[in-house]
Amino acid sequence: MKSLLIKNAVVINCDDRSLNKQDIYIEDGVIREVSFLINREADETVDAGGLLCGPGLVDMHVHMRDPGQTHKEDMHTLSAAAAAGGVTTVLAMPNTAPPVSSVGVLRDILDRAKGSCINILQAACVTENMRGERLSDLEALKIAGAAAFSDDGRPVENARLMLQAIKEAARLNVPVLSHAEDLNIVNGGIINEGEISRRLGVKGIDRASEDSSTAREMALAAACGGSIHICHVSTRGSVSIIRDAKRRGVKITCETAPHYFTLTDEALLSCDADYRMNPPLRTQDDVNAVIRGIADGTIDAIATDHAPHTAQEKADFKTAPNGIIGLETLLPVSYTNLVRAGRIDIFRLFEMLAYNPADILRTRANRFAGGDRADIVLFDPHGEFKVDINRLHGKSVNTAFKNMSFYGAVKMTVCGGNIIYRA
């Protein structure tokens, strides 16, 4: 059996909220021992030299572009980018070409994913081909391996269908992820509606688009006793709606993304489409509300909404598709702007980056217990990570953090006991 010994790692233990310099012995892909001094022979020994050691990150919202748009990304380049970012598990959205609404497409993806260096989970469509007309065969898709149901990329506009989906998913014990957006309110808008959209003379998107859709999903889940997960929360109104729903016992969870607690729509004054995503960057009030939601537990997870596009597609500010990449910047941006900034502690960060998303997806993140799958990230909290688009590992470079520097540089990623990235 293959073995790996990691020595002198400062293990982040979220269960007892401790930081201890310990050794980790891994054999046959799982953790066998974590203690203060391990003297065992191993096939490979790595001296972590006091680097922080956390569970491999679980990014529950990525767009893999495979199948159908592999000129932007494929599962192998996405896996390389994830590994460089300390991400060992991803949930891929189903808005591929064709969409993941049939058992055949789902099985093809999952079969090919077995050769990946990371754990690739796949969401299946709520509605057939994401058309919003009929539910997909959710039970067949669950049996075939679907880890979640979502039409992410567009909302399920028909409330009756969404209610049916929540009920059926509850029976199957599979989460439903909602792209909370009212397309009638969006009505062709491309950035947040407000001072910046007026200055640029472009059509804006009112916050009510996200707020009203979030309220609808909350009401549907409350009515049937099922659960709902809200993707990419960006508005102060949405945060408030979710906070209130949780207080009333509604089974609702949510995620936000690093750009929503880091950047505002003022970045769009550059007319650079790499700052365009959906939902759009909002105002400082919204950023502050998202940070409060992170700090008080309203927001459960941080995900990237990794959405690769080519430079040619992003060249025209007004016609470019929405979306940015984010796998390699997830940990440094989050660590710098949340932990180093004193807004949360390191334990809360890893709850949001690993344990909570794993729980939502009905899977398990490594808790450094004997028998846990050896998915691990080692990073330097004082090490600088400069976002150089020429050194990223994916096919596309449409990052909103280009040329910025952050702390928390990833130095090594281990997945299933294999070292899949070394800085």
Q: 305, 372, 375, 380: which is the annotated catalytic residue?
A: 305
Enumerate the β-bridge partners of residue 407: 384
The alpha carbon of residue 386 and the mean position of all alpha carbons in its chain are separated, in whole angstroms, by 21
What pLDDT, on the 0 to 100 scale, is given for residue 1?
A: 73
- Start-to-end C-alpha separation, the chain: 26
Residues of the chain falling short of pLDDT 70: none
Please state the length of the chain.
423
8 Å CB contact between 255 and 232: yes
Supply 318's token pair: 């007004």
pLDDT digit string, tens, across residues 348-363: 999 999 999 999 999 9
* Paired tokens of 412: 């090594």
Note the pTM of the prediction, 2 decimals.
0.98
Rounded Cα–Cα distance for residues 98 and 109 (Å): 11
Catalytic annotation on 305? yes
pLDDT value at residue 222 = 98
Angle, helices 236-247 vs 284-295, to 10°: value is 30
Local structure of residue 27 (DSSP, 8 states): E
Nearest by Cα to 65 from 232, 281, 310, 387: 310
Smallest CA-to-CA distance from 421 within 301, 331, 286 is with 331
Q: Is the C-alpha dihedral spanning 28, 31, 33, 37 positive or negative?
A: positive
Q: How far is the CA of 176 from the CAs of 107, 179, 404, 419, in angstroms?
A: 20, 10, 35, 33
pLDDT at res. 50: 97
Q: Quote the tokens at residue 386.
A: 């400069």
* Residues 146/154, Cβ–Cβ less than 8 Å: no
For residue 12, give the nearest of 46, 63, 54, 47 by alpha carbon.
Answer: 54
User: Domains (ranges, CATH) in the chain?
Assistant: 3-52+372-422 (2.30.40.10), 57-360 (3.20.20.140)
